[in-house]
Structure 1
Amino acid sequence: MQLQAVLPPEARSRAEPAAEPRLTGDLAVWLVIAAELLTFGLLFVSYAFARLREPELFATLQATLDLDRGAFNTVLLISGSAAVAHAVAALDAGRTAGARRWLAAALACGALFSVLKLDELAAKVAAGADLSANTFWMFYLVLSGFHLLHVVAAMVFLAVVWWLAGRGAYGPGRTHVPETAAAFWHMVDLLWIVLFPLLYVLR
C-alpha cells in the first residue's frame, strides 16, 4: 500500500489490478434472453425461406403495411431504450427522481408502441388477415403478436422498477434489478430492429 502511494499515477494505475468485466443484470434473465433470441431467430429464418418460395405473395402483402407507422414505432422503441439506459445511469448516480422520469418516458414509448401496433393488427384482422389466410399473414401475425407480448412484459418489468425506485430500493451500487430490466428491454428493441425491415422494408 505504501509503495503504491509513492508511485506516479501512471505506474500506480499499472500496479492496480484491472476491474474484471461483468455481465450486468441477472444471469437467469440473460438465459431467457438467449432463448428468446434463438426462438425469434428460427422464426426469422423460416420467414426468409417462405418468402423465397412465394416472393410475389409476400411482396404484394408487404406493400399493404404502413411503412411510416413501422418507422415511427422503431423510433419509439429506440427512444425507450435510450431512456432506460439514462434511468439506470441516474440510479447508479443516486438521482432517483430523474431515474423515475426516464423510466416513465420509456413506459410512455412502450405504451404508444403497443397502442399503434394493436390498432394495426386489429385493422389487418378486420380486413381478413388470419393465421390460415396465407403464409405471409401467418408470419406477420405470429411475429408481430409474439413481439408485442414481449413489449408488454418489458413494460411490466420497468413499471415494477419505477415503483420500487420510488421506495428507495436502488442507488449507487444497487442497480442489479434495473440493469436486468434494461437488458430485457434492449432485447425487445433489438428484435424489432430486425423485425421492422424484415416485414415492412425488404422487397
Structure 2
Amino acid sequence: MSISAESRRVAPGHLPGDLAMWFFILAELSVFAILILAFAVTQALKPQLFGESRLLLNTSTGLAMTLSLLTAGLFAALAQEQVKRSRPRHGAVFLLMALLAGSVYVVLKLTEYRHLLASGLGMEHNTFFTLYWILTGFHFLHVLLGMVILGWLAERCRRGLYNVANRSGLESGVLYWHMVDLIWVVLFPLVYVLN
C-alpha cells in the first residue's frame, strides 16, 4: 500500500488531534456560548438600542474579516493535507499563507477598534458596545493565540517534524484555528448584521 493511500485511510472512530485539545475546544466553546447567549438575550430586551448601535459598525469590514479568517482556515486545512501526502515543507508554505490571511483579520480588527475608540464608542458607551468589546475582544485574543500556533506549526513543518504517522500536534493546532473560524462565523451575523 502506498503512503498516500495509507494516509487517506481513516481508522474507525478516530478523532483528529489530541483528546486534550477537544476538551479545551469544548470548554472554550462553552464560554463563547454563554457570551453569545448574553448578547442575544440583551438584544431581545433592547432591540432599538442594539439596532441603532449596530449601524455604527461597518458591515463590509466585518465581512472582510470573515473572509480572511475562512481563507486562513482553508490554507491550514491544505497544509494538513500536504503533511498527509508526505510533503511537510509544502504544508509549511500553506501555514505561512494561513498566517498571512489571519494577519489581515488582525489589521482590520485593530483598525476598527481604533476607529470606534476615536468615535467615543468604547466599552462604557452603552450595553451593545459593552458586549461588543467583550465578545470581539475575547475572540481577538483567541485569534492572536491561533496565529502563534500557526507560526509554530509552520516551523515544525519546515523542519519536517510532522509526517503521515506523526501529525497529531498539527491536527490539534488546525482544530484550534477552525474553532476560531467557527466562532467568528457566529459572531459576524450576530454582532454586525442581525436585528
Hey, what does 2:184 align to over in structure 1?
192
**Runs of 4+, deviation exceeding 6 Å:** none
Please, what TM-score do these two structures have when normalized by structure 1? 0.89
User: Take 1:199 and 1:61, find their aligned partners in 2: how far apart are those partners?
Assistant: 10
RMSD between aligned alpha carbons? 1.2
Hey, what does 2:166 align to over in structure 1?
174
Hey, what does 1:28 align to over in structure 2?
20
Hey, what does 2:7 align to over in structure 1?
none
Hey, what does 1:90 align to over in structure 2?
82
Please, what TM-score do these two structures have when normalized by structure 2? 0.92
Hey, what does 2:56 align to over in structure 1?
64
Hey, what does 1:165 align to over in structure 2?
157
Structure 1, unaligned stretches of length 5 or more?
Answer: 1-17
The letter for the 1-side match of 2:21 is V
User: Take 1:69 and 1:43, find their aligned partners in 2: how far apart are those partners?
Assistant: 22
Hey, what does 2:6 align to over in structure 1?
none
Hey, what does 1:7 align to over in structure 2?
none
User: Take 2:15 and 2:29, find their aligned partners in 1: how far apart are those partners?
Assistant: 17
Larger radius of gyration: 1
How much does 1:88 deviate? 0.6
Q: How does 1:58-137 map to 2 (within 5 A)?
A: 58-137=50-129
Hey, what does 2:133 align to over in structure 1?
141
Structure 2, unaligned stretches of length 5 or more?
Answer: 1-9
CA contact (8 A) 1:92 1:174 kept: no
Equivalent pairs counted in the alignment come to 186
User: Take 1:99 and 1:71, find their aligned partners in 2: how far apart are those partners?
Assistant: 27
Superimposed CA distance per residue, residues 116-167 of structure 1 (whole angstroms, 9 cap, x where no aligned partner): 0011011111211222221000011111111010001011011111111111
User: Take 1:52 and 1:97, find their aligned partners in 2: how far apart are those partners?
Assistant: 50
Q: Which residue of 141, 145, 153 corresponds with 2:145?
A: 153
Taking only the aligned residue pairs, the percentage that are identical comes to 37
Query: In structure 2, the residue corresponding to 1:23 is in which secondary structure?
Result: coil
User: Take 1:36 and 1:23, find their aligned partners in 2: how far apart are those partners?
Assistant: 18
How much does 1:30 deviate? 1.2
Superimposed CA distance per residue, residues 75-124 of structure 1 (whole angstroms, 9 cap, x where no aligned partner): 11111111111101101111122111110110001111011001101111
Query: In structure 1, the residue corresponding to 2:155 is in which secondary structure?
Result: helix
